Amino acid sequence: MMHMRPQDILLPVAAGLCCKPGGFHIDPVRPVERAVITHGHSDHARAGHGAVLATQETLDMMRLRYGENFAGSTQAIRYGEEIRQGDVTVTFHPAGHVLGSAQIAVSCKDTCIVASGDYKDARDPTCTPFELVPCDVFITEATFGLPVFRHGDAADEAKKLPAPSRSRRHRPPPISGRGASPTPSPRSPRAGCACVPARDSAASSYRW
């Protein structure tokens, strides 16, 4: 089988990491026709793309942050599920960074490249643990590799948070009187939290 050069599969361009044979960008910083998104943080997940492929949790975060029309169409992908586009196969693997975060494996011919997105291998009860993915090229996110970042033990950091209180003075004021209508916030979790199924139209309108 023909061996592909890595730069023929994924190449950094102004809009982001571009997969020319697959016709998509990974975590693009500018609006593109088709975007593959590693996770919901705003420096990776931006609004305005034509079609977005991401985990359901990442799509939910984008919907909550940017609103229902954050992309032309969306498609959810599960960890380990394969999406084929011509000679290119895309699979998502847990990155252990935040809920729904994924490393993106892009395979073409017999060459596999993994773009990590942000990741961590420490235990985190909020997300699926990091998975080691065999590959020919590993493109690692380096932001938090800078020595300036020193992350303490998660359990010790959690102890610094104020303990929940049941005392009266910490209760929210009762809703009563004129003007206290129970109008739900537009950012209500009902609008698109992880427990709400994706819109039926999303998958069917996706252009992969």
What are the residues binding Zn ion (CB under 5 A)? 41, 118
**Hey, what are 163's tokens?**
């303990």
Q: How far is the CB of 39 from Zn ion (least distance, A)?
A: 6
Query: Are 151 and 125 contacting, i.e. CB atoms less than 8 angstroms apart?
Result: no
Helix, strand, coil distribution of the chain in percent, nearest 5:
15, 25, 60
Name which of 101 and 111 has its Cβ closer to Zn ion: 101
CB 56 within 8 A of CB 37: no
In the complex, the smallest distance separating the C-beta of residue 41 from Zn ion, rounded to whole angstroms, is 3
Closer residue to Zn ion, CB minimum distance, 22 or 40:
40
What is the C-alpha separation between 133 and 103, in angstroms, rounded? 9
Question: Taking the complex as a whole, how short is the minimal distance between the CB of residue 124 and Zn ion, in angstroms?
Answer: 12
Residue among 32, 68, 27, 65 at smallest CA distance from 48: 32
- Nearest approach, Cβ of residue 176 and Zn ion (Å): 42
CB of 109 to Zn ion, least distance (A): 31
- In terms of CB distance, is 120 or 199 closer to Zn ion? 120
Of 119 and 206, which has the nearer Cβ to Zn ion? 119
Nearest CB to Zn ion, comparing residues 27 and 32: 27
8-state DSSP, 79:
B
The answer to whether the CB of 32 falls within 8 A of the CB of 174 is no
